[in-house]
């Protein structure tokens, strides 16, 4: 598809929440009509901030976008006259939980829309979802919410479609359908995602946020091609600097030798000094790649008995939960994967198990549980990051807390901030830092790859694989699952 006019342009945009901690510094880039763009960068680099700046440039009403709009500190965000913007958030805002489906979609429009029910029906067909319009948002599963968030973004057929982690909680069928839809969407799409395989299918350009320079680098090509371009750029810069360093040292050695000689030798030393200065000026700042967390171990609680007993589970069919008999016991080193399509009750089962509210499953008294919830509802957003770690630490000490946070890229500055201020990816890393300090006997992991930078995933998979307690896992990411040795399977679809 041919790309048309520039539909979006950032011109020397600077932004910060704290003037001592810039997020964007003179960021400039442009996006053309009909292009498919990925925004990549380290967790907390400012990807979602770019989306908020785009929304802030549309003049959107605050009751529609709520706290999703920002204005640059300096510079300008330009949007082609008349271009509309729609956003699919990565997490359903809690203010919509009590809304019905109909009420939720009505908020997508600034004026009353008389054919709203038909529009909703049509857009839900696009995302392969069917639901009563009077059902409340709070009653949907994570995968169903992901479909609703996408439908909300596209119901107005925006000229610029912004999608923030759209594959989170989607099953394989949902991801494949989304990929096909985006490839055929005849307008501009800008996506934030850590799902490399998904991105590579439709991306024709990448905006890379450099967390060190606070600038945006623009690349042309599919996702994997851009990853290679960045790696090649780093290698070339390192090679250039290595050669310059060799030349500099060689000339300095000669300067030291000739400087104490007379006549022509002294003039030669002066010339060599000038060449050293020139080479030092030509040294380049090597582009630094995203930081990746280092290998870590999740210590397991000492336990020799049964960890979890499962005698029945609830399977959701036609919006009703039907109990199904299951006989299963989990011990140390048991790794259970629960599978089934979106909406069948996987997250409900995990939530009820963790809360001790499931009649058919029970955790043995005394077992400590580490729970990764896909929406991070288990974290107290009003606590500081430091206090969030301290509250679960088995052997709390100031040094241990800070060292563990740093291991998961939670700097001493971030430790002082409230959990609510973290990016979604940083909240995910906080969960793993908590596990390390908590030393649980059971890990309940509901989409544990959600929001996490793909560079971290092999390291996290290794830690889960080597964990010696019991694990109950729900994940729709095959490449992650393949790295964990699973020895138990519960397919809710087969029980239906």
Q: Which residue has the higher pLDDT, 477 or 459?
A: 459
Residue 128: band (very low, low, confident or very high) from pLDDT cuts 50, 70, 90:
confident
CA distance 8 to 27: 13
Residue 64: band (very low, low, confident or very high) from pLDDT cuts 50, 70, 90:
very low
What is the mean pLDDT of the segment spanning 256-263?
A: 68
What is the mean pLDDT of the segment spanning 99-123?
A: 91
Q: What angle do CA 134, 135, 139 make, to 5 degrees?
A: 165
Average pLDDT score over the chain:
86
Return phi, psi of residue 131, to 5°. -160, 150
Q: Exposed, middle or buried by CB within 10 Å (0-12, 13-18, 19+), for 83?
A: middle
CA distance 406 to 433: 9
Structure-token pair, residue 428: 């995910």
What is the mean pLDDT of the segment spanning 381-389?
A: 96
Query: Which DSSP string corresponds to 420-463?
Result: GGS-HHHHHHHHHHHHHHH--SEEEEESTTTT--TTTHHHHHHH
Q: Give the pLDDT confidence score for residue 285 in this predicted structure.
A: 57
Q: Give the pLDDT confidence score for residue 288 in this predicted structure.
A: 53
Name the β-bridge partners of 444. 371, 472
**Residue 473 above 90 pLDDT?**
yes
Tell me if 172 sits within 8 A of 476, measured CB to CB: yes
| Side-by-side strand order, sheet with 320-330 | 320-330, 308-317, 361-363
Q: Give the pLDDT confidence score for residue 387 in this predicted structure.
A: 97
**Residue 257 above 90 pLDDT?**
no
Instruction: Single out the residue of 96, 88, 182 nearest to residue 139, CA to CA.
Output: 96
Q: Give the pLDDT confidence score for residue 289 in this predicted structure.
A: 54
Q: How many helices (H) and strands (E) does the chain have?
A: 17, 17
CA distance 231 to 235: 6
- Could you give the C-alpha distances from 37 to 141, 191, 285, 345, 456, in angstroms and in order? 29, 6, 26, 34, 22
Specify the DSSP element, H or E, that contains 260.
none
Structure-token pair, residue 258: 């000739």
What share of the chain in percent tops pLDDT 70? 92
Structure-token pair, residue 277: 């200065």
Q: Give the pLDDT confidence score for residue 106 in this predicted structure.
A: 92
Instruction: Single out the residue of 196, 164, 198 nearest to residue 181, CA to CA.
Output: 198
**Residue 274 above 60 pLDDT?**
yes
Whole-number CA gyration radius for the chain: 26
SS3 string, 97-155, reads: CCCEHHHHHHCCCCCCCCCHHHHHHHHHHHCCCCCCCCCEHHHCCHHHHHHHHHHHHHC
Q: Give the pLDDT confidence score for residue 396 in this predicted structure.
A: 85
Least confident piece of the model among 83-97, 165-179, 224-238, 422-436: 224-238
Q: Give the pLDDT confidence score for residue 63 in this predicted structure.
A: 42
**Helix 142-154 to helix 172-184 angle, to the nearest 10 degrees?**
10
Tens digit of pLDDT for each residue in 410-459? 999 899 999 998 988 899 999 999 999 999 999 999 999 988 888 899 99
What is the mean pLDDT of the segment spanning 41-56?
A: 86
Least confident piece of the model among 5-14, 163-172, 465-474: 163-172
Q: Give the pLDDT confidence score for residue 226 in this predicted structure.
A: 73
Query: Which DSSP string corresponds to 174-237?
Result: HHHHHHHHHHH--SEEEEE-S-HHHHHTT-SEEEEE-TTT--EEEEES-HHHHHHHHHHHHHHH
**Helix 223-258 to helix 264-282 angle, to the nearest 10 degrees?**
160
Q: Exposed, middle or buried by CB within 10 Å (0-12, 13-18, 19+), for 302?
A: exposed
Tell me if 423 sits within 8 A of 43, measured CB to CB: yes
What is the mean pLDDT of the segment spanning 309-328?
A: 88
Q: Which residue has the higher pLDDT, 450 or 331?
A: 331
What is the mean pLDDT of the segment spanning 166-175?
A: 80
What proportions of the chain, in percent to the nearest 5, are helix, strand and coil?
40, 25, 40
Residues 6+ apart with CB under 8 A from 434: 370, 388, 389, 392
**Residue 1 above 70 pLDDT?**
no
What is the mean pLDDT of the segment spanning 351-358?
A: 88
Q: Give the pLDDT confidence score for residue 20 in this predicted structure.
A: 80
Return phi, psi of residue 8, to 5°. -145, 135
**Residue 62 above 50 pLDDT?**
no
pTM of the model: 0.68
What is the mean pLDDT of the segment spanning 258-275?
A: 70
Q: Give the pLDDT confidence score for residue 228 in this predicted structure.
A: 78
**Coil, strand or helix: which one is 313?**
strand
Query: What structural domains and CATH numbers belong to the chain?
Result: 6-211 (3.40.50.300), 308-495 (3.40.50.300)
- Could you give the C-alpha distances from 200 to 113, 221, 274, in angstroms and in order? 37, 9, 48
Q: Give the pLDDT confidence score for residue 287 in this predicted structure.
A: 53
Q: Give the pLDDT confidence score for residue 302 in this predicted structure.
A: 93
């Amino acid at each position: 598809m041919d790309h048309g006019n520039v539909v979006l342009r950032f011109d020397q945009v600077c932004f910060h929440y704290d003037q001592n901690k810039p997020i964007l510094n003179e960021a400039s880039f442009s996006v053309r009509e009909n292009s498919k763009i990925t925004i990549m960068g380290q967790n907390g680099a400012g990807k979602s901030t770019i989306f908020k700046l785009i929304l802030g440039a549309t003049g959107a009403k605050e009751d529609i976008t709520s706290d999703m709009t920002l204005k640059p500190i300096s510079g300008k965000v330009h949007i082609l006259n008349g271009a509309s913007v729609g956003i699919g958030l990565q997490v359903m805002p809690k203010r919509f939980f009590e809304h019905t489906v109909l009420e939720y979609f009505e908020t997508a429009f600034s004026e009353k829309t008389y054919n709203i029910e038909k529009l909703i029906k049509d857009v839900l067909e696009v995302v392969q979802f069917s639901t009563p319009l009077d059902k409340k948002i709070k009653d949907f599963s994570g995968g169903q919410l992901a479909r609703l968030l996408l439908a909300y973004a596209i119901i107005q057929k925006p000229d610029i479609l912004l999608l923030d982690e759209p594959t989170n909680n989607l099953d394989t069928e949902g991801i494949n359908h989304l990929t096909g839809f985006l490839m055929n969407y005849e307008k501009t799409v800008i996506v934030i995602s850590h799902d490399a395989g998904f991105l590579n299918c439709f991306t024709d350009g990448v905006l890379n946020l450099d967390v060190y320079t606070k600038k945006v680098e623009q690349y042309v090509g599919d996702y994997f091609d851009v990853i290679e371009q960045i790696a090649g750029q780093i290698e070339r810069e390192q090679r250039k600097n290595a050669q310059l360093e060799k030349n500099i040292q060689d000339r300095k050695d000669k300067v030291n030798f000739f400087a104490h000689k007379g006549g022509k030798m002294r003039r030669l030393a002066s010339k060599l000094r000038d060449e050293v200065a020139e080479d030092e000026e030509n040294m380049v700042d090597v582009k630094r790649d995203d930081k990746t967390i280092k290998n870590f171990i999740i210590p397991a609680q000492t336990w020799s008995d049964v960890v979890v007993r499962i005698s029945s589970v609830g399977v959701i069919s036609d919006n009703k939960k039907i109990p199904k008999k299951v006989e299963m016991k989990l011990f140390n080193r048991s790794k259970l994967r629960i599978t089934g399509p979106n909406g069948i009750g996987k997250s409900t089962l995990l939530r009820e198990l963790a809360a001790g509210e499931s009649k058919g499953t029970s955790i043995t008294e005394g077992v400590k549980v580490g729970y990764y919830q896909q929406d991070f509802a288990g974290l107290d957003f009003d606590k500081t990051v430091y206090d969030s770690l301290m509250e679960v630490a088995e052997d709390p000490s100031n040094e241990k807390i800070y060292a563990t946070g740093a291991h998961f890229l939670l700097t001493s500055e971030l430790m002082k901030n409230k959990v609510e201020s973290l990016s979604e990816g940083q909240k995910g890393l906080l969960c793993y830092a908590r596990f390390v300090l908590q030393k649980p006997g059971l890990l309940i992991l509901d989409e544990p790859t959600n929001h996490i930078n793909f560079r971290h995933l092999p390291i996290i998979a290794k830690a889960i694989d080597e964990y010696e307690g019991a694990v109950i896992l729900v994940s729709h990411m095959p490449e992650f699952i393949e790295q964990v040795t699973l020895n138990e399977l519960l397919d809710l679809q087969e029980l239906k």
